[in-house]
Amino acid sequence: MNFIYMEEIDMIKKGIKMEQENLKGTIEAILFAAGREVSSKELSLTLEKSKDEIQETIKEMNIEYQTKNRGIEIVQIEDNFQMATRKEYYDTIYRVIDKRNKPKLSGAALETLSIIAYNPRISRAEIEAIRGVNVDGTMYKLLEYGLIEEAGKLDLPGKPMSYQTTNEFLKMFGYQTLKELPELPRYKLDENKQIVIDELLEEKEEQKSPEKTIDE
83 and 116 within one domain:
no
Tell me the per-residue pLDDT of 1-12, one tens digit each, with 9 for 90 and over: 455 555 555 555
Whether 100 maps to a domain, the answer reads: no
pLDDT, position 58? 93
8 and 83 within one domain:
yes
Of 171, 50, 175, the residue nearest 58 (C-alpha): 50
pTM, entire model? 0.57
Supply the mean pLDDT for the chain: 79
111 and 137 within one domain:
yes
Cα→Cα distances 171→21, 83, 91, Å? 27, 11, 16
**pLDDT band for position 82 (cuts 50, 70, 90):** very high
Domain boundary among 49, 64, 90: 90
Beta pairing partners, 75: 82
pLDDT, position 89? 82
- Between CA 98 and CA 185 the distance in angstroms is 39
Tell me the per-residue pLDDT of 86-145, one tens digit each, with 9 for 90 and over: 888 877 877 777 655 556 788 889 999 999 998 888 999 999 988 888 999 899 989 988
pLDDT, position 200? 46
- Between CA 124 and CA 115 the distance in angstroms is 11
Of 168, 79, 115, the residue nearest 125 (C-alpha): 115
Whether 194 maps to a domain, the answer reads: no
pLDDT, position 148? 92
**pLDDT band for position 41 (cuts 50, 70, 90):** very high
Cα→Cα distances 118→3, 137, 157, 175, Å? 63, 20, 23, 13
Q: Tell me, what CATH number does 140's domain have?
A: 1.10.10.10
pLDDT, position 201? 46
The answer to whether residue 176 scores a pLDDT higher than 50 is yes
15 and 60 within one domain:
yes
**pLDDT band for position 14 (cuts 50, 70, 90):** low
Tell me the per-residue pLDDT of 177-207, one tens digit each, with 9 for 90 and over: 888 888 776 655 555 545 454 544 455 455 5
Domain boundary among 38, 60, 90: 90
Tell me the per-residue pLDDT of 23-32, one tens digit each, with 9 for 90 and over: 999 999 999 9
Q: What are phi and psi of 139, to 5 degrees?
A: -65, -40
Cα→Cα distances 79→38, 82, 87, 128, 177, Å? 9, 10, 21, 32, 9
Boundaries of domain holding 160: 107-183
- Between CA 123 and CA 146 the distance in angstroms is 17
pLDDT, position 202? 52
143 and 171 within one domain:
yes
- Between CA 104 and CA 110 the distance in angstroms is 10
pLDDT, position 105? 83
Whether 35 maps to a domain, the answer reads: yes
**pLDDT band for position 168 (cuts 50, 70, 90):** confident
115 and 179 within one domain:
yes
pLDDT, position 28? 93
Whether 203 maps to a domain, the answer reads: no
The answer to whether residue 159 scores a pLDDT higher than 70 is yes
85 and 7 within one domain:
yes
In order, the DSSP letters of the chain are: -HHHHHHHHHHHHHHHHHHHHHHHHHHHHHHHHH-S-EEHHHHHHHHT--HHHHHHHHHHHHHHHHHTT-SEEEEEETTEEEEEE-GGGHHHHHHHH--SPPP---HHHHHHHHHHHHSSSEEHHHHHHHHSS--HHHHHHHHHTTSEEEEEE-SSTT--EEEEE-HHHHHHHT-SSGGGSPPPPP-EE-TTS-EE-HHHHHHHHHHHSPPP----
As for how many domains the chain has, the answer is 2
